[in-house]
Amino acid sequence: MPVRHADRPATKPQFSAAELRELHEKGTEILKHLESRGLYKPLGSYRAQPEDGKVTYGEGYPITAFEKFLGYWKKDANLAFSPSISMVTDFSVVRCFCRYVREPGRDKVFLDGESNERYDKRARKALDNFRSITGITGSFEFTIERVKRYDKAKGLGESAAVAAATARALIANVFGEDAAHDDIFVSRFARFASGSGTRSAAGGMSIWIAFPEIEESQSYACRLDVDTSNFHFAVFPDFHNIQTMDAHGIASSSPFYPTWVINKYDRILKLIKSGPKIEDLMRNAQEDMFFLRSLLTSGGVIIDTERSIKLINAVKSFQQSGGNIFMTADTGPSIVVMSTDEGELKRFIATQSAKPLYGKIPQSVNYSPDPKAAHTASAFLESLR
């Protein structure tokens, strides 16, 4: 359980060969179009020069997705089945220090001061990919600190922030500061830690290029040229008690997954070709929020709470009476409300008893750490010897 369609394999999405070819062609078309507009660029070339004991810094922001990502074409390299679009937000920030150790087999992650097996496992997989690409044989130790503006929430894109921060610290460590400033370069490696981390590393409003039969080295995110000067948003943080949820697996095994993926390519292609506008992105994000919930529900998983359902219905009522706002959400009950009209957004928020968190799209991460934090992290990592 959940009960599955008898004739459908439980894990692999069912696309015909013709459909896979179509997705490859449309994915390539999206890539080429972004390339011709100077947004998608070839990967930079940097020399790996790891130094035993060197400690470096990286930051990452969480993401809120407009075109959501669910399901892998190739799980081992974290290659998604479709492109996806998101923005970074300042709802939290992740600060990471990375120390290189020449000795193999010593990868280790400390999350908010404590060792964490789940993160260790995730890091090992990502680092194994990194090592096989770069030829490096040593280990990496990370300290990760999450600074949140909210108390408890699901669906605020934190894991993207962790992936981006660790990838940036890692790239700074192995390839140096120039590489760490190259968002696209960092983005490719953030992908190994978390799909959505790929977009977080690119910053701003970005698209992650992925499709069936893409070369691994081509799959990274680049910023989109979207005017967000009149864009305003806020989130109502919420949480649920679903302990473990393999959202990617559940979505991929839905009979509705292929339709969702195929439609997503068409929507993204249309958006990119017409020059992406924030109004279209918001509309798509609201639609895709319900599609994502629909895919999970088809597998028996309902991620909403009484609070989020009430909020969703309130937004719909507000829209039905002409209110110019949109909403979106990821795989949790936290709901983001947004508008190109700040007054409208505030007018809606005033109707709610819960108080949301206003957000901004951060322009850039900090590339240098706070000196005191750097000293503490170095001392901590040194104490592990």
User: Min. distance of Cβ 215 from a second copy in angstroms?
Assistant: 30
Given the complex with a second copy, which of 184 and 335 has the nearer CB atom? 335
In this structure, what token pair is assigned to residue 372?
Answer: 């005191």
Between the alpha carbon of residue 296 and those of residues 133, 264, 271, 307, 326, the distances in Å are 34, 17, 25, 19, 21
User: How far apart, in whole angstroms, are the C-alpha atoms of residue 377 and residue 319?
Assistant: 48
Count, residues near a second copy per rule CB under 8 A:
38
Question: Quick one: which of 97, 119, 291, 348 contacts a second copy (CB under 8 A)?
Answer: 291
Work out whether 255 is an interface residue with a second copy (CB under 8 A): yes
Of 124-132, 216-224, 253-261, 373-381: span binding a second copy (CB under 8 A):
253-261
- Would you count residue 352 as binding a second copy (CB under 8 A)? no
Spatial separation of the C-alpha atoms in residues 122 and 318, rounded to whole Å: 42
* Contact status: 267 vs a second copy (CB under 8 A): yes
Question: Is 26 one of the binding residues for a second copy (CB under 8 A)?
Answer: no
Nearest to 212 by CA among 258, 270, 276, 273: 258
Burial 143-155 (b: 16+ CB within 10 A, else e): bbbbebbbeebbb
Pick the closer one to a second copy by CB: 311 or 357: 311
Residues 6+ apart with CB under 8 A from 28: 211
Question: 108-111 and 139-148 as β-strands: parallel, antiparallel, unpaired?
Answer: parallel
Q: Which stretch binds a second copy (CB under 8 A): 81-89, 167-175, 251-259, 372-380?
A: 251-259
Site for a second copy contains 244 (CB under 8 A): no
Question: Nearer to a second copy by C-beta: 24 or 267?
Answer: 267
**CA distances, 157 to each of 2, 63, 186, 337, 368 (Å):** 26, 5, 18, 15, 23
Alpha helices per DSSP H over 299-370: 306-320, 342-350
Contact set for a second copy, span 296-335 (CB under 8 A): 297-300, 302, 304-306, 309, 312, 316, 319-320
- Using the rule CB under 8 A, is 339 a contact of a second copy? no
Contacting a second copy (CB under 8 A), which of 270, 273, 277, 375?
A: 270
- The residue among 290 and 380 lying less far from a second copy, judged by its C-beta, is 290
Q: Specify the residue, 85 or 126, whose C-beta has the smaller distance to a second copy.
A: 85
Please count the residues of the chain.
385
Query: And the tokens for 305?
Result: 């709470």
Query: Is 362 an interacting residue with respect to a second copy (CB under 8 A)?
Result: no
Min CB(172)–a second copy separation in Å:
42
**Nearer residue to a second copy within complex by CB, 300 or 343:** 300
Q: What is the DSSP string of 89-133?
A: -SSEEEEEEEEEESSTT--EEEETTEE-HHHHHHHHHHHHHHHHH
CB of 84 to a second copy, least distance (A): 17
Identify which range of 99-107, 203-211, 292-300, 372-380 contacts a second copy by CB under 8 A: 292-300
Residue 1 touching a second copy (CB under 8 A): yes
The residue within the footprint of a second copy, chosen from 7, 103, 114, 151 (CB under 8 A), is 7
- Report yes or no: 48 and 185 within 8 Å, Cβ to Cβ: no
The rounded distance, in Å, linking the Cα atoms of 254 and 12 is 10
Q: Binding residue for a second copy (CB under 8 A) from 28, 134, 294, 376?
A: 294
**Smallest distance, a second copy to C-beta of residue 169, A:** 39
Q: Which of 72, 260, 265, 348 binds a second copy (CB under 8 A)?
A: 260
Q: Does 15 sit near a second copy (CB under 8 A)?
A: no
With beta carbons less than 8 A apart as the criterion, state whether 211 and 71 touch.
no
Q: Which two tokens stand for residue 348?
A: 């809606």
* Of 121-129, 164-172, 173-181, 249-257: span binding a second copy (CB under 8 A): 249-257
- HSE-CB at 306 with a 13 A cutoff on CA atoms is 0
Interface with a second copy by CB under 8 A: which residues?
1-7, 254-256, 258-260, 263, 266-267, 270, 283, 286-287, 290-291, 293-295, 297-300, 302, 304-306, 309, 312, 316, 319-320
